[in-house]
Structure 1
């Protein structure tokens, strides 16, 4: 089963979900705010994608992080930050069971041959 991770009210999540539904692709949606984020799940994301790729430094959540944390961010502090604030994780994160894909571009999703 394909799983999409993110936050329900995110515009990019909405676009990705609309694309999957229009293509008739079954998936589960895991909302970090509603369903939570376990340390074990985050650790699998970090192992597969790297903490640098997961950490969204373009969003409003990152801009709210204290300068002393942003200036000294490392693997350990990034992990804790993502556990405390899952909205700082780049989204969507699509898990196809064979690979994990960050972000949404229709052409990239089409190339995954999800059907």
Structure 2
């Protein structure tokens, strides 16, 4: 089953859910603010994605900007970044798509199409 971490007030998340519905793809939607992934889950998802851990941060988010993380991430260890991502779902890039084969941070229709269709 496809899982997707979303935030209901995020227009990109809503666009991604509509795309899944339009393509008849069944999924489990998880509220990234209320049900955010814990440290072990983030570590596993990052490993499965093949992406640098920094790509899991919601760089356009209010909290990211308030914490001035663009200035701090370069000096952080992976463990520190994992702790931070696990501390608040609003720091995690969304939507976060999880399938048996892959993990994709963010919504790009062509990438999702390749992974799911």
Normalised to the residue count of structure 1, the TM-score between the two structures is 0.83
In 1: Cα distance, 2:78 partner to 2:22 partner: 37
Give the distance between the partners of 2:18 and 2:34, measured in 1 at CA: 20
Give the Cα separation in 1 of the matches to 2:29 and 2:23: 16
TM-superposed CA distance for 1:66, in Å, is 4.9
Cα pair 1:6 1:93 within 8 Å, conserved: yes
Structure 2: tracts of 5 or more residues without a match: none
Report deviation, 1:3.
Answer: 0.6
Runs of 4+ aligned residues of structure 1 deviating over 4 Å after TM superposition are none
SS in structure 2 at match of 1:111: helix
1:46 positional shift: 2.5
TM-score computed with the length of structure 2 as normaliser:
0.82
After superposition, the C-alpha distances for 1:28-81 in whole angstroms (9 at most, x for unaligned) are 1111222242222112123223311112223222101156x7263331221111
Q: The residue matched to 2:33 in structure 1 has which SS?
A: helix
Structure 1: give runs of 5+ residues left out of the alignment.
none
1:53 matched residue in structure 2: 55
- Count of aligned pairs: 114
1:91 and 2:97 aligned: no
Give me the whole-angstrom Cα distance separating, in 2, the residues matched to 1:70 and 1:93. Answer: 23
